[in-house]
Copies of this chain bind each other. A is one copy, B any other.
């Protein structure tokens, strides 16, 4: 019937607009039931359950058997980690797998059979699930005593496949790989040529006294390779050349040449390549997001225009405003955007919208969220007005900053004076009195500011929220201190007691004050720019961080599995290996596993390869990706700063999409329509 048809069209439009908002692909089934399933699947609850499941399955590693998560990492002091009984973690895992199976079936159903075969991510998802389940069954049939658990290494895949941003980023990284591989190959050639050269140069001679370099670093091929590889990370920088250098200064030419070529040229070339390649790909992915948004809006327009109530128009299709309003009421979107669109709709005099008008209406979605602070209260009393003027004035804020600086300086003075004293010799009176005074000032400042600005306006500034929160915490801590130990007086030296001793509490108060000092930053122009760049970067970095977590998790699990049996007996070495595996600082691995582990020869062969791989991925590639993103972000921001002066009282929320807006190309009508006609499930009337 027409009513049912109309209803279907309305529902399709709703879903397409929601797709556009979330930058999702519109290539899914569009019949009534599928649309219901689709909206249910992308509802907040469902997505939240999915995220929770992913978190749980990743977090399992911390309680599972070969984990070493205890407070201290020192094997001498630490208690044995809690060992969950066989079947506990396994049943949680099974629950997670069940959720994932529902997830993959819904996803596969929604995109349809044909699309499913083209989607490699879904195939990999199913494969991962099958392997994991098989491994799970094997695990249970051995009563959890088996050593190799493949499914653990596969776990981060669930995190990866759930984030479209991460998949996009991974695709970008993937496209950069050939170039990176070339440089890594060049690095390998560089390394091997210099290794040969070093072995020829520092060969064994008759005189054992002269052989220190050979004995220490170039005894055989693996040793030489290792020495020079570590030199590439600059971890053993002067040590490796000291024996040769003390024999003849000219030998240093070899090492300098190696370092300059390897570190300065090749490593930075990697930065240049990644920056150059990645710049384009990031833009491209943002461009495709924009295309998805425009496509979703256009699809909504097309289905709405085929509503039977619209008068058939041979030349151009139109959408009635009534239908759009009906759709808008049911669409889940940011209320600010919705209101803005409604407002524009009401201002529109006509009662039909063309495709261009329709598209323009939804451009509100691309706009910066402009945040308006609520107004200050209007006081009637003259005195209050004066107060408001005085304490709302920027100078009052500057005074607060000066006081915070004074507080920092006084803490510093106390620290320097107390540095070498035994705890029993220390007199905490001075610190206590200072804290008391400054906290009172901060409290007063907060109250006066609230008086001047009104609570709502005060809280609308993030810096004030930060300030206020810290002040309240400081106040509570201070009151607690006084309640337990009384007011400070000369010779005030309370004993250590309970969970938090006074000493700890005073320290805690002072640490918080150090943080409070950060409020000075927005007042300095350049610092503010830098800090906002960094904050933007953190936003844009989520996808990268996710991928790093994925890689790190896989590496940590592999490391634990590889070195578990072999390393446990060697107390001290174990500590270090486990430390590096979980911490992942590349210098840590390189230094520890290449300098300390050689004593443990068996493990070291594997450890070397493992750590070199980790160093390449985490340090070389990831750090360079980070630099590329930072360069991109900073240069864009810097250029924009020169273009326009920032308006006061307005804060922009920038995302990676907005950053590139001025260089993005709008998709043309033809491209959109061509893509729409390729939709596997949607049959357009015309």
Q: Which residues of A contact B (CB under 8 A)?
A: 69-74, 77, 179, 182-183, 186, 193, 196-197, 199-201, 203-206, 219-221, 234, 237-238, 242, 245-250, 252, 256, 259, 264-265, 268-269, 271-273, 275-276, 408, 411-412, 415-416, 419-424, 496, 503, 507, 510-511, 514, 517-518, 526-527, 530, 533-534, 537, 575, 579-580, 583, 585, 587-588, 591-592, 623, 626-627, 630-631, 634-635, 638
Residue of B nearest to A580 (CB): B238
In the assembly, what is the distance between CA of A517 and CA of B247, in Å?
29
Tell me whether A507 and B238 are in contact (CB under 8 A): no
Residue of B nearest to A220 (CB): B419
Whole-angstrom CA separation of A73 from B638 in the bound complex: 49
A272 touches B634 (CB 8 A): yes
| A592 adjacent to B204 (CB under 8 Å) | no
Task: State the copy count for this chain.
Answer: 2
A422-B204 contact, Cβ under 8 Å, with A182-B526, A264-B623: yes
The answer, among B74, B250, B273, B585, for a CB contact under 8 Å with A238, is: B585
Instruction: Specify the chain B residue showing the minimal Cβ separation from A206.
Output: B423
Residues of B within 8 A of A252 (CB): 583
CB nearest to A633 among chain B residues: B272
**Complex Cα–Cα for A256 and B264 (A):** 25
B638 touches A276 (CB 8 A): yes
Q: Which residues of B contact A183 (CB under 8 A)?
A: 530
Q: Are B204 and A269 in contact (CB under 8 A)?
A: no
- Please list 25 pairs of residues, one from A and one from B, whose beta carbons are closer than 8 Å in the complex, sorted by A's number: A69-B249, A71-B249, A72-B248, A72-B249, A179-B526, A186-B530, A196-B412, A196-B415, A197-B511, A199-B419, A201-B507, A203-B503, A204-B420, A204-B421, A204-B422, A206-B423, A221-B415, A237-B588, A238-B583, A272-B627, A273-B634, A275-B631, A275-B635, A276-B631, A631-B631
Chain B residue with Cβ nearest A233: B234
Known: A237-B591, A419-B221, A517-B193. A245 touches B73 (CB 8 A): yes
Q: Nearest residue in B to A259 (C-beta to C-beta)?
A: B585
Output the least CB separation between A259 and chain B (Å): 7
B269 touches A200 (CB 8 A): no
Chain B, residue nearest A194 (CB): B514
Residue of A201, A221, A237, A575 with highest tally of chain B CB at under 10 A: A237
Let me know if A234 and B514 touch, CB within 8 A: no
**Contact present for B196 and A411 (CB under 8 Å):** yes
Determine whether the beta carbon of B272 is less than 8 Å from that of A635. Answer: yes
Q: Which residues of B contact A268 (CB under 8 A)?
A: 626-627, 630
A580 contact set on B, CB distance < 8 A: 238
Query: Which B-chain residue is minimally distant from A69 (CB atoms)?
Result: B249
Q: Give complex CA distance A70, B69 in Å.
A: 55
Give Cα distance in the complex from A490 to B271, angstroms: 51
Q: How far is the CB of A216 from chain B (nearest CB, A)?
A: 14
Cα A248 to Cα B71 in complex, Å, equals 5
Kindly provide the distance from the CB of A513 to the nearest chain B CB, expressed in whole angstroms. 9
Interfacial chain B residues near A424, Cβ < 8 Å: 206
**In whole angstroms, how far apart are the Cα atoms of A520 and B422 in the complex?**
67
Q: How many angstroms between the C-alpha atoms of A420 and B215 in the bound complex? A: 10
Please tell me if the beta carbons of B219 and A420 are within 8 angstroms of each other in the complex. yes
Q: A186-B527, A264-B623, A527-B182 are in contact. Are A203 and B507 (CB under 8 A)?
A: yes
Contact B265–A587 (Cβ < 8 Å):
no
Residues of B within 8 A of A630 (CB): 265, 268-269, 271-272
Across the A-B interface, the 5 shortest Cβ-Cβ residue pairs = A74-B246, A272-B634, A237-B587, A220-B419, A238-B588
Distance in angstroms between the alpha carbons of A433 and B669 in the assembled complex: 74
A527 neighbours in B (Cβ, 8 Å)? 182, 186
Give the residues in chain B near A411, CB-CB below 8 Å.
196, 200
Q: How far is the CB of A418 from chain B (nearest CB, A)?
A: 8
Contact A420 B220, CB 8 Å, known A246-B74, A415-B200, A514-B196: yes
Q: Is the CB of A514 within 8 A of B264?
A: no
CB atoms of B196 and A245 under 8 A apart: no
User: Who on chain B is nearest to A631 by CB?
Assistant: B272
CA distance A24 to B266 in the complex (A): 35
Contact across chains for B71 and A220 when beta carbons are under 8 A apart: no
Q: Is the CB of A530 within 8 A of B276?
A: no
Residues of B within 8 A of A507 (CB): 200-201, 203
Q: Cβ of A626: which chain B residues have Cβ within 8 Å of it?
A: 264, 268
- Closest-by-CB residue of B relative to A415 is B199
Chain B positions within 8 Å of A412 at CB level: 196, 221
18 new A-B contacts at CB < 8 Å, known A196-B412, A204-B420, A246-B575: A71-B250, A73-B249, A77-B246, A179-B526, A182-B530, A193-B514, A200-B507, A220-B420, A221-B412, A237-B587, A237-B591, A256-B585, A259-B585, A268-B626, A269-B530, A272-B634, A276-B631, A631-B631
Cβ distance A414 to chain B, nearest Cβ, rounded Å? 10
